[in-house]
Amino acid sequence: MTLEADVLAAFPAEVQIPAQLVADAVAASSASLPRVFVVLDDDPTGTQSVADLPVLTRWEVADFTWAFAHIEESQSQPAVYVLTNTRSLDPAEAAARNEEVVRNALAAADGKLRLGFVSRSDSTLRGHYPLEPDVIAATVAAESGEATDGVVIVPAFPDAGRVTIGGVHYMRGSGDDAGELTPVSETEFAKDASFGFANSELARYVEEKSQGRFTAGEVIVLDLNIIRAGSAAGGLGDPALSAKAIADAIEPATDSTPIVADIVTENDLRALALGLEEAERRGKKLLYRVGPPFVRGRIGQEIRAALTSEEAYEGNTPSTAGGLIVVGSHVGLTTRQLNVLRAEHGSARIIEIDVEKLFGDNAADYIDTVVAAVVGALHIGDVIVHTSRLLIKTDDAAASLKIARTVSAAVVAVVNRTLKTFPPRFVIAKGGITSSDVAAHGLEIRHAIVRGPMLPGIVSLWEPVDGPAKGIPYIVFAGNVGDDQSLAQVTRKLSNAF
C-alpha cells in the first residue's frame, strides 16, 4: 500500500502562490506583443478546470479570428480551446488535424499575436503521444521557423485525484481508500484498447511511447524539490526561488526535450507557471502536453466556484421541457454514476440504445424509433439516453475506434434530431468522445463560452453562442471524474423535475 502522506514526507511543503501573481507575470510577458495560448483539446473535457474562455469546435481562420477578437473585447484571460477530438481518430487523422489547427491559428494571428500551443490530453495518460506534440512542433517550425526546445508534460489533475510525485503518476483513492495512491499503470485506464501503457513513472512512459526515441534518462524531471524550491525560504515560501529553480532545470532542453513535472496542488501548478514564464523570458521555446488544470494555473486564473442552478441559466430563459442526459462512456465509474441517477431520479424516462442493433441491417429504422421515444418523453420530463452497458471489445486498436465511432454517430443522430424537433431544457453528455461529438455535431455548436464547472474543479458548462442550441446549457462530463453521486448532483442542479 502506498500512502500519499508517506510519499510526500520526502519533499518540501508547497509554496503559497496567489493566482494574481501568475496573471501579472503572464500580462507582463504580453506587454510588447500580446500572447494567447491555443489549447488543442483532444476531447472536450479539458475545459472543466477553466471559466469564461472561448471554445471552438471548428478551426478555420475565421473561427480563430472570432476567438481572438472575443478575448480582446471581453478582456478575458488569454486562452482559447479548440475541440480537436483527436482521441477518437487514428494517428494519421490526428496528425492532419493538429497540423491544420496550428496552421490556421498562426494565419489568424498574422504576426499580431504571439501564440503558445498546448496539447491537452488525458490525466490518465491516454492519447496520441508523442504524435501530437511532435506535429505541433513540426508545424510551428515550418510556418515560423521557430524550433521547440522542450515539451512540458503535466498530466496531473488534483481535483480529480490524479497527482504526480517523484516523477510517478498516481491515482488517489476515495472513500475507504482515501489517502492511498495507485500507480496509474495499475488502473483500468492503462488497459485502454487504443492507448494502453505499462509505465507510471513518466520518464519511462515517455521512453515507452516514443519507442526509445527519448530514453528515460534524457527526460528532465521537475520533481517537488524543484517545484517547491522556494519553500526553504520559510514562512509561505518564496515563489521567485521556485521559478528560478524550474527555469534553471529547463535550461538544457533542446530539440523537443521531454520535461515532466510533479504536481500535487494548485500552488504547485502556479509555481510551475512562474518557472515556465521565466524559462520563456530567457528564450526557451516550449510546448505543453497536459491534463485539464494546467491552463488554469498557467494563465493565473482563480479557481472558479461551482456554478449554481441560477448561474447555469444566467442570461437565458430555461425551457419548460425536460432535460436530456446522454451517457456514452463505459468506464466503471460512469456505470455506477448512471445507476445512482436512475435510482434517485425516479421520474426520468430511461431509453437504452442497443449497441448491437447499430450494426444490423435495420439500424436506421432503429434510430427512428429511439428518436420518437426521446421526443415523446421530453414533453413529460427528463430523459436518460444511454448505450447498452455491454461493451463490444476487440484487440485491434483501429477496429476498436471504428466501433466507438459507429456508436457515437448513432448518439449524435438521436441528439440532433431531438434538438430540431423539441429542444430540451439542458443537455448533459457523459464521456469524452460522446461529449465531443454531441457538441460539434449533435448540437451543432461552433463557438461557445465555458462558463465554469458544475462541481468543484470538474464538469464544465458551455454556453453555445450560435447554432440551434444557442442558450441551452451544455454540460461536458468526462467519463472518469467525480464520485458515484456526481451525475445525479449535476442533473439535480439543472432539472425542474428532480
Question: Kind of pairing, strands 383-387 and 349-353?
Answer: parallel
> In the 8-state DSSP scheme, what is residue 417?
H
- The Cα–Cα gap between 232 and 238 comes to 8
Check residue 93 and give left, alpha or beta (phi > 0: left; psi -120 to 50: alpha).
Answer: alpha
Q: Could you give the strand order of the β-sheet that contains 2-3, starting from the edge strand earlier in sequence?
A: 2-3, 180-183, 168-172, 162-165
Which residue(s) pair with 145 in the sheet? none
Distance set, CA 378 to CA 184, 197, 325, 447, 489 (Å): 40, 42, 11, 26, 20
Distance set, CA 141 to CA 68, 126, 204, 451 (Å): 22, 26, 27, 34
Give the model's pLDDT for residue 38. 98
Of the candidates 261, 326, 325, 319, which has an alpha carbon nearest to the alpha carbon of residue 293?
261
253: exposed, middle or buried (C-beta count within 10 Å: 0-12, 13-18, 19+)?
A: buried
Q: How many residues does the chain have?
A: 498
- The Cα–Cα gap between 183 and 190 comes to 10
CB distance 167 to 207 below 8 Å: no
* CA gyration radius, the chain: 22
Q: Which residues contact 459 (CB under 8 A, 6 or more apart)?
A: 48, 453, 475, 476, 477, 478, 481, 482, 486, 490
CB distance 430 to 477 below 8 Å: yes
Query: Could you give all domains of the chain from N- to C-terminal order, each with its CATH number?
Result: 2-299 (3.40.50.10840), 311-494 (3.40.980.20)
> In the 8-state DSSP scheme, what is residue 263?
B
Of the candidates 179, 83, 22, which has an alpha carbon nearest to the alpha carbon of residue 440?
83
If one counts every other C-beta atom within 10 angstroms of the C-beta of residue 142, the result is 13
- The Cα–Cα gap between 175 and 483 comes to 9
206-219 burial, b at 16+ Cβ within 10 Å, e below that, comes to: bbebbeeebebeeb
CB distance 444 to 343 below 8 Å: no
Q: pLDDT digit of tens for each residue in the chain (498 aa)?
A: 789 999 999 999 999 999 999 999 999 999 999 999 999 999 888 898 999 999 999 999 999 999 999 999 999 899 999 999 899 889 999 999 999 999 999 999 999 999 999 999 999 999 999 999 999 999 999 999 999 999 999 999 998 899 999 999 999 988 888 889 999 999 989 999 889 999 999 999 999 999 999 999 999 999 999 999 999 777 789 999 999 999 999 999 999 999 999 999 999 999 999 999 999 999 999 999 999 999 999 999 999 999 999 999 999 999 999 999 999 877 788 889 999 999 999 999 999 999 889 988 899 999 999 999 999 999 999 999 988 856 566 667 677 767 777 888 899 999 999 999 999 999 999 987 788 889 999 999 999 999 999 999 899 999 999 999 999 999 999 888 889 999 999 999 999 989
Give the model's pLDDT for residue 444. 97
What pTM did the predictor assign? Answer: 0.92
Cα 96 to the chain's mean position, in Å?
20
Strand segments, DSSP code E, in 199-250 are 220-222
